[in-house]
Structure 1
Amino acid sequence: MPPLDRSAEERLRSYGDASRTLAAIEGRRILDHLLELEAIPSPTGYTDSIVRHVCGWLDGRGIDYELTRRGAIRANLRGEVESPDRAVVGHLDTLGAQVTQLKANGRLAIRPVGTWAARFAEGARVTVFTEAGPRRGTILPLKASGHVFDQEIETQPAHWDNLEIRVDDRVSSSDDLVSRAFHVGDMVAVDPQPEVTDTGFINARHLDDKAGVAAMMEVLSAVTETDAKLPVDCHFLFTISEETGSGASAVLHGDVAELLAVDNATVAPGQSSAEYGVTIAMGDMTGPFDYHLTRGLIDLARRYGIDHRRDVFKHYRCDAASAIEAGNDIRTALVAFGLDASHGWERVHIDSLAALARLVAVYVMSPPVVQRDELPIGPLDGFPDTQE
């Protein structure tokens, strides 16, 4: 790709007003997107249905997209120049479980898919996807009745080895389970149970990262409806295996220079995440995010009056980590919605999702943070300086 000509550089420097696109972002539509996504089971390893849903939505909006072999989506928006490309990424997959044993008592032993605590699985209503179709059930501790086990139900450790699925079928043995088409390896989806309050809170499982994807879809709506001018080509990526670690490792291509991950910010003691605004992550367990890209996002949030905070996440990684670990030479950053009790009984406020969408929108309409990034490798000229 040749260097940008003078006219292209002028267009980047004359980045215009984003107010029309920002005004098009609606919290109500974000919520609608979220509830539609929540209704589609998508534990890692069982994501085809939600991939088809998002592709259908992109088709309806006339947005070009491509799929990897396994179903990660790359939606493509044209910019005024082709390079350096940027990407925004969120993940469609959620936590779930998988059957590990057909037990002699007619119940199913399970293991987690993704990293989540057994204590949050107790009592969950679930769907088991068998060869004969979906079956319903409940995750219970092995000692589930106080009338039988008395105080032992309080002292039994919360651990996946102490959980089982009670299936809603007339089964009392492993042979009965086989006759009903249950098998080791069956995927298990946990009911999201969304509830929206009149105070603007959404309580549900799997808000990580369906809430982030809903915000991304609203940005795509606002950008396309207002015919927003993008300085460079931009790709919205929807990955399908973030919860098990591979995430954005395969859906990128070599021309992407900036990757903005969209995920949850942990609202908890000891953290400084914004529960009602957007959080700009400065680092996570894999290390600091890109200095220039994160500070560019902070500048945008200040310029447009977007409620924001900075935070560092100690026990957390996102799609950006897998992209770097796959060998991509890209700048990465993370913007996040405020989420209480992540990977458990999660809660987010609609104001946080709207603030997130606004920051993503102004980001995709802003110039690249380092113009030299159009070159995959080159001289020192144009290389940034953290002291400036």
Structure 2
Amino acid sequence: MKKLNIDTAFLTTTLLELLAIPSPAGLTDEIVHYTARKLDALGLNYELTRRGTIRATLRANLDDGPRDDAAYTKAGPDCAIVAHLDTLGAMVREIKDTGRLALSPIGTWSSRFAEGGRVTLFTETGRVRGSVLPLKASGHVYNEEVDTQPVNWDQLELRVDERIGNADDVRALGVQVGDFVAFDACPEVLENGFIVSRHLDNKAGVAALLAALKAVVESGAAVPIDCHAVFTLTEEVGSGATAVIEDDVSEVIGIDIGPVAFGQGAREEGVTIPLMDSAGPHDYHLTRRLLRMCAEHAIPSNRDVFRFYHSDAGAAVKAGHDVRTALVCFGADASHGYERTHLSVLVNIAELLTLYMQSGHTLPKDRHHRLGTVDDFSHQLEAEQLTRQETPMPDPGELTRG
């Protein structure tokens, strides 16, 4: 197992191409086609669900190299690495008499980050451009009321960039309630390595995963078990990986954003591995294993706990899958706003993923689909830690006497 070189030019170009494709949850077909073409170029087989979630497979190759799928028999459960293609966005909920449009958010995000956004509105026959503005958008008209109006989605409206005087003019453009609104990403890649954009969540994670797959495929590195790269479509609206993890998977790693803020451990350098999020603690053994990989291969890492955070990994467990889970995150400032991360962070994530793809099951017993007896079950505390306890455990009988 070795840390592989990551093609940073490929990673950066892939990220910019992803950011150029509008993909609010529910409007994701085009980004599915893009991702499929990237997998085709890498020579990886994949399958799609009805709605377009992609499950690609990096085959194990330890004995005689890649094998024909029809003749392939697996030796045990697989692993999966999951990243989501969908982003935040909005939908038209009302056409006002003025010709302005009221919006409802797609995903959970504050209206203050939508204010001033340049957008594309997708009708069923075409697309139009516009801006998202507060109801009181001109200081020359409203003076200080511009600064005192509340912050919520009811205080915003979409101004379409066409000659419009009333609702009929808007309808004549083909605009209807339920049309999708995608916010421009406006990416910048700076010479110092910082990347600033909307929708780094989670297109930066997707780019890092594709870069890791490229490194493993082109290096010919040994892969001991099948590894599935899964690209989901509905993480921002809460479902994500609930329906795509199959029984042949024993552990799931989610790739996603790590919010950088005061009091958080996530950083815009190194890999951030949260030990818990809103779904509860992630798997003890898998998270510590990833942290050890970072330490052993000189990949900077950070530990964190996310309080208001949901992910594809958590969605898999909530759906009832008996899998180990972990999250690998790129630290980013201003999550769900104009996000900022650093190219080195995405490279570090890709490096860690290449190590994981080469590493096999987290524990030897995970090679089997089901445990036999408790004799095979793991201990979260090392044996040597148990022997260090100076005070012996009391006799249970003593606890009931006196």
- Give the TM interval when normalised to the shorter protein: over 0.9
**Once the 2 structures are TM-superposed, how far is the Cα of residue 52 of structure 1 from its aligned partner?**
0.4
SS of equivalent residue, structure 1 residue 221: helix
* Counterpart residue number, 1:221: 214
* Counterpart residue number, 2:372: 378
* Counterpart residue number, 1:331: 324
* Counterpart residue number, 1:160: 153
1:34 to 7, 15, 30: 15
Q: Which letter does structure 2 place at the counterpart of 1:147?
A: H
Q: Kindly indicate whether the alpha-carbon contact (under 8 Å) linking 2:365 and 2:371 is maintained by their aligned counterparts in 1.
A: no
SS of equivalent residue, structure 1 residue 71: coil
Q: Kindly indicate whether the alpha-carbon contact (under 8 Å) linking 1:127 and 1:188 is maintained by their aligned counterparts in 2.
A: yes
Q: Which letter does structure 1 place at the counterpart of 2:102?
A: A
Instruction: Answer with 1 or 2: which has the greater Rg.
Output: 2
**Once the 2 structures are TM-superposed, how far is the Cα of residue 242 of structure 1 from its aligned partner?**
0.2
* More moved, 243-252 vs 368-377: 368-377
Q: Kindly indicate whether the alpha-carbon contact (under 8 Å) linking 1:82 and 1:233 is maintained by their aligned counterparts in 2.
A: no
* Counterpart residue number, 2:190: 197
1:169 matched to 2:169? The reply is no
1:57 matched to 2:38? The reply is yes
SS of equivalent residue, structure 2 residue 175: coil
* Counterpart residue number, 1:12: none
Q: Which letter does structure 1 place at the counterpart of 2:369?
A: L
1:87 matched to 2:68? The reply is no
Q: Kindly indicate whether the alpha-carbon contact (under 8 Å) linking 1:107 and 1:172 is maintained by their aligned counterparts in 2.
A: no
Paired with 2:156 and 2:371, the residues of 1 have a C-alpha distance of 52
Q: Deviations over 1:155-193 (max 9, x none)?
A: 001110010000011112111111110000001100000
2:245 to 246, 252, 255: 252
Q: Deviations over 1:68-101 (max 9, x none)?
A: 0000000001114542200000000000000000
* Counterpart residue number, 2:392: none
Q: Deviations over 1:290-323 (max 9, x none)?
A: 0000011011111111011111111111101111
Q: Kindly indicate whether the alpha-carbon contact (under 8 Å) linking 2:133 and 2:157 is maintained by their aligned counterparts in 1.
A: yes
Paired with 1:28 and 1:60, the residues of 2 have a C-alpha distance of 16
Q: Kindly indicate whether the alpha-carbon contact (under 8 Å) linking 1:200 and 1:349 is maintained by their aligned counterparts in 2.
A: yes
Structure 1's consecutive aligned runs of 4 or more residues displaced over 6 angstroms after TM superposition are: none
**Once the 2 structures are TM-superposed, how far is the Cα of residue 382 of structure 1 from its aligned partner?**
2.1
Normalising by the residue count of structure 1, what TM-score does the alignment of the two structures yield?
0.93
* Counterpart residue number, 1:18: 2
SS of equivalent residue, structure 1 residue 164: strand
1:357 matched to 2:338? The reply is no
RMSD in angstroms over aligned alpha carbons? 1.0
Q: Which letter does structure 2 place at the counterpart of 1:18?
A: K
SS of equivalent residue, structure 2 residue 162: coil
Paired with 2:27 and 2:375, the residues of 1 have a C-alpha distance of 47
Paired with 1:268 and 1:360, the residues of 2 have a C-alpha distance of 25
Q: Deviations over 1:52-78 (max 9, x none)?
A: 000011112211000000000000011
* Counterpart residue number, 1:210: 203
1:305 matched to 2:298? The reply is yes
- How do residues 78-157 of structure 1 correspond to structure 2 at under 5 angstroms? 78-79=59-60, 80=62, 82-157=75-150
* Counterpart residue number, 1:14: none
SS of equivalent residue, structure 1 residue 83: coil
SS of equivalent residue, structure 1 residue 57: helix
* Counterpart residue number, 1:11: none
**Once the 2 structures are TM-superposed, how far is the Cα of residue 105 of structure 1 from its aligned partner?**
0.3
Q: Which letter does structure 2 place at the counterpart of 1:72?
A: T
Paired with 1:259 and 1:331, the residues of 2 have a C-alpha distance of 6
Paired with 1:378 and 1:261, the residues of 2 have a C-alpha distance of 29
**Once the 2 structures are TM-superposed, how far is the Cα of residue 376 of structure 1 from its aligned partner?**
3.1
Paired with 1:215 and 1:206, the residues of 2 have a C-alpha distance of 14
**Once the 2 structures are TM-superposed, how far is the Cα of residue 28 of structure 1 from its aligned partner?**
2.3
1:232 matched to 2:204? The reply is no
2:336 to 324, 339, 343: 343
Q: Which letter does structure 1 place at the counterpart of 2:188?
A: E
* Counterpart residue number, 1:13: none
Paired with 2:56 and 2:369, the residues of 1 have a C-alpha distance of 23
Q: Deviations over 1:272-299 (max 9, x none)?
A: 1121110111111111100000011011
1:278 matched to 2:271? The reply is yes
**Once the 2 structures are TM-superposed, how far is the Cα of residue 32 of structure 1 from its aligned partner?**
0.9
Alignment length, in residue pairs?
369
Paired with 1:82 and 1:334, the residues of 2 have a C-alpha distance of 26
Paired with 1:167 and 1:357, the residues of 2 have a C-alpha distance of 40
Q: Which letter does structure 2 place at the counterpart of 1:74?
A: R
Normalising by the residue count of structure 2, what TM-score does the alignment of the two structures yield?
0.90
**Once the 2 structures are TM-superposed, how far is the Cα of residue 349 of structure 1 from its aligned partner?**
0.3
SS of equivalent residue, structure 2 residue 119: strand
* Counterpart residue number, 2:71: none
**Once the 2 structures are TM-superposed, how far is the Cα of residue 377 of structure 1 from its aligned partner?**
4.6
SS of equivalent residue, structure 1 residue 100: strand
Paired with 1:219 and 1:292, the residues of 2 have a C-alpha distance of 23
* Counterpart residue number, 1:314: 307
Paired with 1:248 and 1:82, the residues of 2 have a C-alpha distance of 24
Q: Kindly indicate whether the alpha-carbon contact (under 8 Å) linking 2:102 and 2:158 is maintained by their aligned counterparts in 1.
A: yes
Paired with 1:177 and 1:185, the residues of 2 have a C-alpha distance of 14
Q: Kindly indicate whether the alpha-carbon contact (under 8 Å) linking 1:27 and 1:353 is maintained by their aligned counterparts in 2.
A: no
